Amino acid sequence: MVYRRFLLFTIGLFFAGSSIVQAQTEITTNATAEVPEEDEFVIEDEEGNDEIIDFPEAMTYDLDSLMALYMSKTYLYEDNDCQMIDMNPTFDKEVYIERLRRMPTVMEMPYNEVVQKFIDRYTGRLRHSVSYMLGASNFYMPIFEEALEAYGIPLELKYLPIIESALNPSAVSRVGATGLWQFMLATGKRYDLKVNTLVDERRDPLKASYAAAHYLSDLYKVFGDWNLVIAAYNCGPNTINKAIHRANGEKDYWKIYPYLPKETRGYVPAFIAANYVMTYYGEHNICPMTTRLPSQTDTVIVKKNVHLQQVAEICNIDIEQLRALNPEYRHDIIPGESEELGIRLPITEVGKFIDMEDSIYSHRADELLTKRAIVAVNEETPSYSRNTRTSVRNSKNARNKRSRTSSRGQSVTIKQGQTLSEIARKHGTTVAKLKKLNGIKGNNIQAGKKLKVK
C-alpha cells in the first residue's frame, strides 16, 4: 500500500455542493431597495448607446443550499465579535481609484464605470456571499498561492475562482465547466485532469489549481498581457485573437473591449472588483465568516474498487464528510482496479482503514459495486401472442402522442429541498427566466408543485 499525507487546509477540500452566490437586497447609507434578479446590466457607452454586459455566471448563483452542506455547517460560522450591519457606505469615485491604485499587484487595477458596477454588486446585494467567501478563502488561498507561485503567476490571480465558481469545487456551469477553476472537459484533459464516468479531477482543488496555473502560464506566453490572459481564460484564446484582429492589432484589453462577448466584457472588471472587495471588505461593513480549521487528513492509495459507503460504515465516518473530502468521485465509487487512486480520510481514521482494509473491500460489495463481470444469456425460445403487432402499434402511437405533448412545453415536479438555482442549472436556464416563466416573485418554491422550465 502506498501512503501519502496532506493537511486538509493545504489541499483545500472544503465544499462539495451547489454554487454559492445569494441574491440579496442592495443597501446604501441612504435607502434600502429591492433589486430584481438579473443576469446582465446596461450602461451607456461614450456615444450614448446602451451597452449590455453579462455578469459572470457565478455572480448569479443562489446561496440557499450551501450552508446546509457538511463542511460549511461544521467549519464555518458567523463571527459574533464582528457586528455585520446591512449598510453599504458609498464613496466618491476618487476613493475607489486610490484604493485600487494602492493594492500591491503586478496587474493593472484601473477604475471605470463598469468596474464600479461590479464593486457595487459585491458590496451590496452579494455582501453576505462575500462574507462567506472570505471565510472559505482560509481553506483555498494557500493552495491557489502555492500553485501560482510554482508557475511564476501573479498572486492576485488567486481571486479568479471567486468569479469563476464562487469557491465551490463542485460547481457546474450551464455549458459544463466544472470545479473551482471551471475547466471545460477538453481543456481539463489537455492539462492532465482525469475525467471519466466515475472520476472528475476538475473537482479536485489541488490538481485543478496546478492545472489552472499551468494554463494561465501558457496563455501568458501567447498574449504577454495578464488582462488578455484572464479574458482568454473566460472565452478562449481564439476569441481573443479575433477581437485583436478586429481592433486592428490592438493588444490592450480595454481597446479590444467592444469586440468581446458580453460576458467577457464584464470578466476583467469583475476580477478587479473581486480583488477590491477581498481587500477592502471592512470599509463596506462586511465581516468574514469565522473559520475553524479541520483536522489533518491523509491520502491512502487504494488498488481495488471501493465505494465510499463501504468506508463510511466500516470506519464509522460520516458519508457526507467523505464526499466533501473526495469531491472528484462522481458516483461515490473509487475505481482502484483501473489505476491507483487515493481516498482522503481524517488522519484519525487512516490507521483504522489500514487495519480493516480487507473488511472494507468485502463489506456489501455485491450490493454497492453492482457492475457484473460475467452474465448468463437467456437462451429460451420466446413465445409471441397474436396481439403483439397491435401492442407495438399502440405503443408507437402513445410515444408519438407524448412527443407532441412535450413539444408544447416542459414542466418538472419540485422535489423536497430543491432550489430555483439547482433546477435552472439542471435544465440549462437561469433563475430569472424560471421566475418570469412561472410568475414567481421571491425565491421560495414548494415541493410537489409543477414548475415550467421551457
Which three-class secondary structure state does DSSP give residue 50? strand
Decide: 193 and 209 in contact? Cβ < 8 Å. Answer: no
Residue 140 grid cell: 483555498
Residue 75, Cβ density class (10 Å: 0-12 exposed, 13-18 middle, ≥19 buried): buried
Nearest to 424 by CA among 123, 57, 76: 57
How many C-beta neighbours within 10 Å does residue 217 have?
15
Residue labelled with grid coordinates 491523509? 298
50-54 and 40-44 strand pairing: antiparallel
Residues present in the chain in total = 454
Concerning whether 250 is annotated as a catalytic residue, the answer is no
Q: What is the CA radius of gyration of the chain?
A: 25
User: Of 26, 156, 164, 349, which residue is the catalytic one?
Assistant: 164
Exposure pattern of 109-136 as b/e (b: 16+ CB <10 Å)? bebeebbbbbbbbbbbbbbbbbbbbbbb
Biggest CA pair distance of the chain:
86
CA distance 186 to 48: 41
Alpha helix stretches (DSSP H) within 257-414:
262-280, 308-315, 319-325, 350-355, 357-362, 365-368, 388-406
CA distance 187 to 214: 11
**Residues tagged active-site:** 164
